[in-house]
Amino acid sequence: MVAVARAPRPEPHQAADPNFTADVLAGLGGTPKRIAAKYFYDAEGSHLFEQITRLPEYYPTRCEMKILREHGKDIAKLIPEGAALIEFGSGSTKKIRLLLKSSPQLAAYVPVDICADYLREEVKELKTDRPQLPVLPVIADICMPFDLPETARNAPARCGFFPGSTIGNFEPHEAADFLRNAARILGEGAILLIGYDLIKSPDVLNLAYNDLQGVTAKFNKNLLARMNRELGANFKLECFEHHAFYNRERNRIEMHLASLKRQKVRVAGDTVDFRAGETIHTENSYKYSIESLTALASGTGWNLISTWTDPKKYFAVSAFKFGKPDKKTARSG
Ligand code: AVI
Reported as a single tens digit per residue, the pLDDT across 199-257 is 999 999 999 999 999 999 999 999 999 999 999 999 999 999 999 999 999 999 999 99
Per the model's pLDDT, the better-predicted residue between 9 and 144 turns out to be 144
Burial of 128 (0-12, 13-18, 19+ CB in 10 A): exposed
Going from the Cα of 37 to the center of ligand 1, the distance in angstroms, rounded, reads 9
Going from the Cα of 246 to the center of ligand 1, the distance in angstroms, rounded, reads 13
The per-residue pLDDT for 4 is 33
Question: pLDDT digits over 112-128, tens only?
Answer: 988 887 788 878 888 88
Share of the chain above pLDDT 70, in %: 92
Q: What is the mean pLDDT of the chain?
A: 92
Contact 78, 191 (CB under 8 A): yes
pLDDT of residue 283 exceeding 60, the answer is yes
pLDDT of residue 91 exceeding 80, the answer is no
Nearest alpha carbon, ligand 1 atom 9: 49
Cα distances from 305 to residues 24, 81, 294, 313, 315, in angstroms, run: 41, 18, 10, 18, 17
The per-residue pLDDT for 189 is 97
The per-residue pLDDT for 13 is 52
Contact 263, 241 (CB under 8 A): no
DSSP state of 15: P
Q: How many angstroms separate the CA atoms of 45 and 218, rounded?
A: 9
Q: What is the mean pLDDT of residues 133-141?
A: 92
